[in-house]
Structure 1
């Protein structure tokens, strides 16, 4: 194979020698125009996904290259999983370039949500994480919410420069760029997307009319999210697809909530109060007595309590204790799974998740 080519779907260099490596195409497919690798072909036509090996250090070094250029940086974050979709220390990698934050997946939130309040929360949280955004726009790449505002804001802020679109894996970067191309550009969907993290394997450059380009960067992999541990076949069970309809449980002291076989909440001390669960509709939630919790967990995890069907590859469960303060409603956040909004009563809660999964408590965002 003399010529070099790159997959237009995921950006990886194409090759015909090794079917087990990224970028493989059959020799017959190699002769076609607009070649995509076998992996992208299967994702597009059969919705087939498979894990691939990622090198976080390589991705971070690619991110640091932005600091050597004049560009607008667009960081896409997942509003459903803000903490888990933030790139830690991003301000240290991009030099003095301005950064626009696009909060994606707004369509997952109840229609009653106050968008301006949510936008202010994103802006405030970004500043706490060391970033002074040039602007914040909330959108839905899947539904096209506020897309004229997205396009206008990008054009206004880039001032004739390249645009680098960055984010952690599975925040919707490629879906967002495809939407921009369909509505304001070529009208074609060129970048492969799938529900599994890490679809884009290398940078993808898309030329603009003024000679500059939009660059879709590979997603940064964060292993502290639940979504990175779930098998591809089970990922849909924990990934919201439509507007969340929160499930409300009135818990009293000595009760437990299971979230499939992935996490559990033990209500250790406190008066009866509501626990509102913002998670995928398809995730099974089960309530029981705390005194029976360990026995039910051992007996039914992987069966009644699933996913995961097979927990052999999961880290051991770790307990995190939280004391709620009665000052305000708070969210117990499980990165890659969702959150539980608590009441305002003083209470003691144990949250169990696989070791290494990020959890936090924050003031309620809804």
Structure 2
């Protein structure tokens, strides 16, 4: 396959521009290439349609391709800015990150802090987040909380990057859907005034190759492709349902006084069973629009099969054929913990209880120390 020019890359996703094969990455009609060069905004057709029509086209890169693109970072002299989604911390962790960064220092950025209750002390949240990545073997030199979407604390982040990089390039890494490209766009806007240069969406895997942004001293700030975690909820729901389960504003905690042998359905995409324990308050942290329904455990299976796609939505009736069955995970809670449905949210559970979480097959359900 030939390319229009090996040096021409889509400024939205970083793919090499080519006009030969519409089914391959970087395809752009030849007539659009010249227009893009003249305007200074050369996008591949995939990014153009995503930006203007919110349409997503499948990509041919595999998980291994994404990891291979990151593998050379260990040989660079750089500062690693590791972006995690505070609402989905566990789904944001990159297994074996040290293999990709080598001896380079890591700066931790917790994005989407605006989604968490404003009553939560940010110093406590910062400490909790650092402890979570410590358990994954990552020792950040500093931790910064931001909201890329709301442009909160981005100037502080830039100052911290400048203070820490010590005449080095900066590589921004993270899994898909953590808001990495939105963060880069805010940085570009603050430094250059250009808005929405890089393609962003709620779909996994939008950035397909490295995107290099020049810094004032001749070094580069590099946006790397997001590593895809198949255990995220984003991989089992269509776009219209992701809008219902993906928070866009501050979460309002929902508290339920539960006795044992009761069930709470989270739409039709997940389920929480309170199996054993005294009457307690269980607090849910999910998108405010996600419908939650309580019923008796003994009736839960029949309730689910009867109402899935109707009362229990998402998924909608049209998507039931492709929706995976729910898998069950049981836990005995020894200390106050969060039962996490990866990419969806969590229930905070008191000690001395036995619970079960159900999620679509392939989506992770796990226990972690309580955030709040």
TM-score of the superposed pair, with normalisation by structure 2: 0.93
**Alignment correspondent of 1:26:** 29
Q: Is the 8 A contact 1:264 1:351 kept in 2?
A: yes
In structure 1, the gaps of 5 or more residues are none
Is 1:97 the counterpart of 2:104? The answer is yes
Distance in 1 between residues matched to 2:57 and 2:306, nearest whole Å: 30
Distance in 2 between residues matched to 1:218 and 1:352, nearest whole Å: 30
Shift of 1:304: 2.0
Q: Judge which range, 68-77 or 291-300, deviates more.
A: 291-300
**Alignment correspondent of 1:365:** 371
Q: What secondary structure, in the 3-state scheme, does the structure 1 residue paired with 2:256 have? A: strand
Distance in 2 between residues matched to 1:302 and 1:94, nearest whole Å: 44
Distance in 2 between residues matched to 1:303 and 1:20, nearest whole Å: 37
Is 1:251 the counterpart of 2:254? The answer is no
Aligned partner (choices 13, 16, 21) of residue 19 of structure 2: 16
Q: Judge which range, 17-26 or 126-135, deviates more.
A: 17-26
Q: Is the 8 A contact 1:50 1:232 kept in 2?
A: no
**Alignment correspondent of 1:127:** 134
**Alignment correspondent of 2:245:** 238
Aligned partner (choices 208, 212, 221) of residue 201 of structure 1: 208
Is 1:323 the counterpart of 2:332? The answer is yes
Q: Cα gap change, 1:227/1:159 in structure 2, threshold over 3 Å: closer, same or farther?
A: same
Q: What secondary structure, in the 3-state scheme, does the structure 2 residue paired with 1:72 have? A: strand
1:140-159 → structure 2 map (5 Å cutoff): 140-159=147-166
Shift of 1:52: 3.0
Is 1:185 the counterpart of 2:197? The answer is no
**Alignment correspondent of 1:356:** 362
1:1-366 → structure 2 map (5 Å cutoff): 2-4=4-6, 5-32=8-35, 33=37, 34-309=41-316, 310-325=319-334, 328-344=335-351, 346-366=352-372
Q: Is the 8 A contact 1:49 1:194 kept in 2?
A: no
Q: Judge which range, 43-52 or 267-276, deviates more.
A: 43-52
Q: Judge which range, 198-207 or 95-104, deviates more.
A: 198-207
In structure 2, the gaps of 5 or more residues are none
Q: Cα gap change, 1:15/1:2 in structure 2, threshold over 3 Å: closer, same or farther?
A: closer
Q: Judge which range, 244-253 or 40-49, deviates more.
A: 40-49
Distance in 2 between residues matched to 1:253 and 1:36, nearest whole Å: 55
Provide, for residues 33-65 of structure 1, a one-character-per-residue CA deviation record: whole Å limited to 9, x for no partner.
222112211222222334434311111122220
Q: Is the 8 A contact 2:25 2:60 kept in 1?
A: no
Q: What secondary structure, in the 3-state scheme, does the structure 1 residue paired with 2:101 have? A: coil
Shift of 1:188: 3.5
Q: Cα gap change, 1:2/1:286 in structure 2, threshold over 3 Å: closer, same or farther?
A: closer
Q: Judge which range, 311-320 or 177-186, deviates more.
A: 311-320
Q: Cα gap change, 1:303/1:53 in structure 2, threshold over 3 Å: closer, same or farther?
A: farther
Distance in 1 between residues matched to 2:143 and 2:53, nearest whole Å: 36
Shift of 1:186: 4.4
Q: What secondary structure, in the 3-state scheme, does the structure 2 residue paired with 1:312 have? A: helix
Distance in 2 between residues matched to 1:2 and 1:288, nearest whole Å: 60
Distance in 2 between residues matched to 1:358 and 1:2, nearest whole Å: 42
Q: What secondary structure, in the 3-state scheme, does the structure 2 residue paired with 1:93 have? A: helix
Distance in 1 between residues matched to 2:109 and 2:71, nearest whole Å: 20
Distance in 2 between residues matched to 1:330 and 1:107, nearest whole Å: 22
Q: Cα gap change, 1:265/1:220 in structure 2, threshold over 3 Å: closer, same or farther?
A: same
Provide, for residues 276-325 of structure 1, a one-character-per-residue CA deviation record: whole Å limited to 9, x for no partner.
11111121211111111111111222222122232433443221111123
